[in-house]
Amino acid sequence: MFTGIIEAIGEVVDIQAEGSNITFKLTCPFTQELKVDQSLAHNGVCLTVVDIQGSVYAVTAIDETLKKTNLGRLSVGSKVNLERCMPANGRFDGHIVQGHVDQTGIVTAITEQDGSWLYDFEYEPNNQNITVEKGSICINGTSLTVFNSGTNTFRVAIIPYTYEHTVFHTLQVGDTVNLEFDIVGKYIRKMMNL
């Protein structure tokens, strides 16, 4: 389980296709603290560390993951949000994040507001995923609060710290992002549809 509080930004240094899978090699500030078989969220996608060589570690994404996330769009030099799984004795600063991306969305607008930023997103409504006003959303692994919630659109506000310490400062209109909708909302929606 994750919280959506980004620890660091990693950088992709190598990409290798292996059948329908892709192995990504990355560097990050805490590579020396990682271990093989550890879960690590990459733009909100939970992947297992499969190898560590010095300051570089490797993770593998299967075809299903590549189809449902933006990881297949990464290239050498791409920056990704990173979060290690939450320790049992850790603080719960964000919200419950599973690291299981529900679908992707598109950045439709970015508005600078004298030191903070508003980001607008749109997503395909056919997956029955929903947002609610002042509810939680995980975008590229970052726990955020929704406002201007629409049928398949929503907005978030980004403070300067989040802008600088996540990949939000690299996003542009038209970019694809990973979305994980609030697990509590998903359970309630499923119960209501029974």
Query: 49 and 107 in one domain?
Result: no
Residue 89 belongs to some domain of the structure: no
**Can you tell me the distance from the alpha carbon of 119 to that of 183, in angstroms, rounded to the nearest whole number?**
22
Nearest residue to 118 via CA among 142, 81, 148, 94: 148
Q: Provide the pLDDT for residue 86.
A: 82
Query: 17 and 48 in one domain?
Result: yes
Query: 109 and 69 in one domain?
Result: no
**Can you tell me the distance from the alpha carbon of 123 to that of 105, in angstroms, rounded to the nearest whole number?**
4
Q: How many domains does the chain have?
A: 2
Residue 95 belongs to some domain of the structure: no
> What does the block give as tokens for 149?
């919630």
H helices then E strands: how many in the chain?
Answer: 3, 12
The amino acid present at 145, given as its one-letter code, is T
Q: Provide the pLDDT for residue 146.
A: 96
Which is more confident, 192 or 69?
69
Residue 160 belongs to some domain of the structure: yes
Nearest residue to 104 via CA among 141, 70, 138: 70
Average pLDDT over residues 30-48: 96
Q: The domain containing residue 153 runs over which residues?
A: 103-193
Which tens digit of pLDDT belongs to each residue from 11-32?
999 999 999 999 999 999 999 9
Q: Write phi, then psi, for 73 (nearest 5 degrees).
A: -90, -5
Count CA atoms closer than 13 A to 19's CA, side-chain side: 6
pLDDT confidence bin for 3, thresholds 50/70/90: confident
Q: Provide the pLDDT for residue 149.
A: 93
Query: With pLDDT > 90 as the criterion, what percentage of the chain qualifies?
Result: 78
**Can you tell me the distance from the alpha carbon of 5 to that of 36, in angstroms, rounded to the nearest whole number?**
22
The amino acid present at 169, given as its one-letter code, is H
Q: Provide the pLDDT for residue 194.
A: 56
Average pLDDT over residues 70-88: 93
Q: At which residue do the structure tokens 């929606």 appear?
A: 189
Q: Provide the pLDDT for residue 189.
A: 76
Residue 50 has pLDDT above 90, yes or no: yes
**Mean model confidence pLDDT for the chain:** 93
Query: 64 and 108 in one domain?
Result: no
Which is more confident, 161 or 3?
161
Query: 115 and 187 in one domain?
Result: yes
Which tens digit of pLDDT belongs to each residue from 157-181?
999 999 999 999 999 999 999 999 9
Which tens digit of pLDDT belongs to each residue from 82-123?
999 987 777 767 777 888 999 999 999 999 999 999 999 999
Query: 159 — alpha (psi -120 to 50), left (phi > 0) or beta?
Result: beta
If you compute the radius of gyration of the chain from its CA atoms, what whole number of angstroms results? 16
Q: Identify the CATH number of the domain in which residue 108 sits.
A: 2.40.30.20
